[in-house]
Amino acid sequence: MTRTTPTPMERAEALFDELVAHYGEGDQRELRAAAKLLLVALSKFRDHGGAHWQELLDEYVDALKHDPEKFARMLESNRGTPPDELIA
């Protein structure tokens, strides 16, 4: 089956690439693009994460800092299945 709809993770990665391209040959363009996404993500975490949003954020940061393999697995598991591949 050919997939036509990108997953949310693929869409986020494509947006990152688009932001990097926006900065052209600018200094630290990847870091600047990542910072923009992080600022938006942190705001949305706070707005929609409920009373314990910071605990979830800390879990992600701790995994990234102390267990990069776990973090990589978390990223991979969040790639998900696009709607056109879901089995009813």
Q: Do residues 5 and 84 lie in contact, with contact meaning Cβ atoms separated by under 8 Å?
A: yes
57 lies in a domain? yes
The residues, ordered by sequence, that sit 6+ positions from 38 with a Cβ below 8 Å of its Cβ are none
Note down the domain range covering 32: 7-48
Q: Are residues 11 and 43 in the same domain?
A: yes
Instruction: Kindly state whether residues 38 and 67 are assigned to the same domain.
Output: no
The dihedral of CA 32, 7, 51, 56: what is its sign? Answer: negative
Indicate whether 1 belongs to any domain.
Answer: no
Number of domains in the chain: 2
Residue 15 in domain: yes
pLDDT in tens, the chain (88 residues): 566 788 888 999 999 999 999 999 989 999 999 999 999 999 999 999 999 999 999 999 999 999 999 999 888 888 776 556 555 4
Residue 64 shares a structural domain with residue 42: no
pTM of the predicted protein model: 0.76
